[in-house]
Amino acid sequence: MWVIMKKLIITLAAAVLLSACSVDIPFINEKPLEKAEKNPQLAERNEQTKENYASNAKGEEESSLALEAAYFNAIKEVNGIKEIVNATNTLALVNKEFALPGSYIPDDLVRPKVPFSFGNQDIEKSYLRKEAGSALEKMFSAAKESNIHLFAVSGYRSYARQESILNNEIGKVGEEEALQAVAFPGKSEHQTGLAMDISSESVQYLLVEEFEDTDEGKWLKENAHRFGFILRYPKDKEKITGYQFEPWHFRYVGEKNAQIMYKNGWTLEEFFQEVRKL
């Protein structure tokens, strides 16, 4: 009797299992679109989710294009020159329109631990502001790991030194041509302590346009933004920056800002045209 009952139980269980396997479970093998077509509420939720994602993405983008007022130039006019009052600002827009005070010297200059084209000489142009110097060290280290060997050529430059360089260049090529490549004293980014001219052995450590076509120049153009630097005077932007193409001149602006400028192909001037003040 027990054997018969056992067989009956097994038979019934098998029937139940077979029945379960043959149940038509809706949507189990259907694509999301097919599910949505059969379920209007699901379609509505999917559409709302898409809108939320788009709204969040737009909000993040707008947020990234907003800056505190302290990062914009604060200007006062001195003898007809627009001087930057907040000169320590790491985003100071220094160009042919806006100048640094002649007396401005960054108080946090350091000598980065990177190879220099002039060796171990402890001279003015081997210095950068601390934050920029640290970022430069990281960038040079990453380049070396990729078998790219960079050399720092010229960093911080005082007002007096800039004046001497300009006068020397004017003596060689004339004022008009000199001003296409050399800034007026006070209007050079080098005085900020945030800019570094970079070269390589492949161009004999010179600052020449041919650097653009070297492995080192290409690596810098594609990777500098990862470390907070931008190619400050790019090709075809001369009318915006006021200076000729300089594939060797890199300016520290911070990682977030550098990535925004790189992504959009903006110069520092264009960046300030796009960002809004908080």
Q: Which residues are catalytic?
A: 246
Cα 50 to Cα 20: distance, rounded to the nearest angstrom: 36
CB count, 10 Å around CB of 274?
A: 11
What does the angle CA 74 – CA 79 – CA 84 come to, to the nearest 5 degrees?
20
Distant-in-sequence, close-in-space partners of 172: CB < 8 Å, separation ≥ 6: 178
Chain centroid, CA 61 distance in Å: 15
Chain centre distance of CA 69: 20
Helix (H) or strand (E) holding 153: strand 151-154
Give the 3-state secondary structure of residue 236: coil
Write the single-letter amino acid at 211: F
The first and second tokens of residue 20, run together, are 């379960």
